[in-house]
Chains A and B, each alone.
Chain A
Amino acid sequence: DSGVTQTPKHLITATGQRVTLRCSPRSGDLSVYWYQQSLDQGLQFLIQYYNGEERAKGNILERFSAQQFPDLHSELNLSSLELGDSALYFCASSLNRATGELFFGEGSRLTVL
């Protein structure tokens, strides 16, 4: 158990819809990262938040947005969903950037039909 909690574990929705994925980081961790893993692909970095503020951005689509709340949990919002958005979405957390080690949640599997 990494200590990172993601909900929901599975989500099935239709094209054009909007979903919200939730992540609770490990106790004490200030940084939250979101990654997307599509079929047979590596983990693609989406975005990083540190103590409520956006710190680094990857190839995140404009239809996607995220935020980190004062209690440090984070939400990833995906809108106008397309079939290609079907993927595993991982949240990870870390205390700081000292060694780069991230602690990952079990992921949220999104299926867009």
Chain B
Amino acid sequence: DQQVKQNSPSLSVQEGRISILNCDYTNSMFDYFLWYKKYPAEGPTFLISISSIKDKNEDGRFTVFLNKSAKHLSLHIVPSQPGDSAVYFCAARSSGTGTASKLTFGTGTRLQVTL
């Protein structure tokens, strides 16, 4: 059961344009959502997050939007740069108890920013 879904395996965007990566989830118990970026031969690195009590979080060129009623979040990158070319993973945290915590990841979207 895929609780976090990224339905677009790949996306190609021209440099300077907006990149929009989408993610859907099914579990209403998720309380934090995160985006990770992964380059080849490296581990995923944290990019930006949003709490379930917010609908938008912005950090420089990166903005994450959360629509709880639709169980949908998106990552906007403006303007897109060639260095943004990577695989982007959407992740969601289960609101467990105490020190228990786990992130459920989507399958990733490969973004290619072309010149």
Contact = CB atoms under 8 A, between A and B. Distances in A.
Given A45-B102, A56-B101, A104 B32 contact: no
Contacts of A96: 99
A71 interface: no
B56 interface: no
Interface string A61-79: 0000000000000000000
Contacts of B100: 48, 50, 55-56, 97
Contacts, number: 76
Given A99-B49, A100-B32, A101-B49, A48 B102 contact: yes
Interface residues of A, number: 32
Contacts of B44: 43, 90, 104
Given A101-B49, A106-B43, A42 B105 contact: yes
Interface string B91-108: 101001011111111111
B103 A45 contact: yes
Q: Interface residues of B toward A: which range?
A: 20 to 34
Nearest to B90: A42
B59 interface: no
B53 interface: no
A106 B101 contact: no
The interface centre, meaning the residue of B36, B89, B103, B106 with most chain A CB atoms within 10 A of its CB, is B103
Interface of B: 4, 6, 32, 34, 36, 41-46, 49, 89, 91, 93, 96, 98-108
Interface of A: 2, 4, 30-31, 33, 35, 40-45, 48, 50-51, 55-56, 58, 90, 92, 94, 96-97, 99-107
Given A41-B107, A55-B101, A104-B45, 15 more contacts: A2-B43, A33-B103, A35-B105, A42-B106, A44-B105, A48-B100, A50-B99, A50-B100, A99-B34, A99-B49, A100-B32, A100-B91, A100-B101, A106-B41, A107-B43
24 contacts: A31-B101, A33-B102, A41-B107, A42-B89, A42-B106, A42-B107, A43-B44, A43-B89, A43-B105, A45-B104, A48-B101, A50-B99, A56-B96, A56-B102, A58-B102, A96-B99, A99-B34, A100-B32, A100-B34, A100-B93, A101-B46, A102-B46, A104-B45, A106-B43
